[in-house]
Amino acid sequence: MVDESDLDSDLKALKEETQGGNRIQDVAKEDAYREFQEAVVESLHNRSASGTNQTVSIWDKELAALTDVLKANPELLDRVGTELENELGRPTSEDEQMTRGELLGMFVRVGMQEADPELFEMWRDAVADWVRAP
């Protein structure tokens, strides 16, 4: 005798396997990925060639206060910086004190990685492509 719960779980598993998407969706996703990467690489080339300002500004007094406190407490800054580096899979920089810009950049990167891991990876791939380009 066949147990209905086993049959239901087998049917559910088979349904999930076959609902993975179709080729048209996969091609559209690949096209969007390629377009995004090309746009990032183009923007990086344009910024490098034109000498455009590399600064990204954040108008946020709470974040400014946090960075002030971290800069005033080097041990705390090192701990937070090390955690951010670990989260991003970067080697820790124990020799130098982290700058405010490096800290904010890692805050943004970790936030982006948490909010949209796929977009974060596409962006990192695009940056890697740009670095490797002649």
| pLDDT for the residue numbered 98 | 84
54 vs 95, higher pLDDT: 54
**How far is residue 77 CA from its own chain's centroid?**
22
Which pair of structure tokens corresponds to residue 81? 């910086």
Tallying the residues shown for the chain, one arrives at: 134
Within 10 A of 67 (CB to CB), how many other CB atoms are there?
Answer: 19
pLDDT at 24 > cutoff 80: no
Which residues have a Cβ under 8 Å from the Cβ of 86 and sit 6 or more positions away? 92
In terms of pTM, does the model score above 0.75?
no
pLDDT at 81 > cutoff 80: yes
pLDDT at 10 > cutoff 70: no
Query: Which DSSP symbol is given to 89?
Result: T
Give the start-to-end residue ranges of the domains of the chain: 23-132
CA-closest candidate to residue 112, choices 103, 100, 121: 121
Phi and psi for 62 in degrees, rounded to 5? -65, -45
| pLDDT for the residue numbered 18 | 58
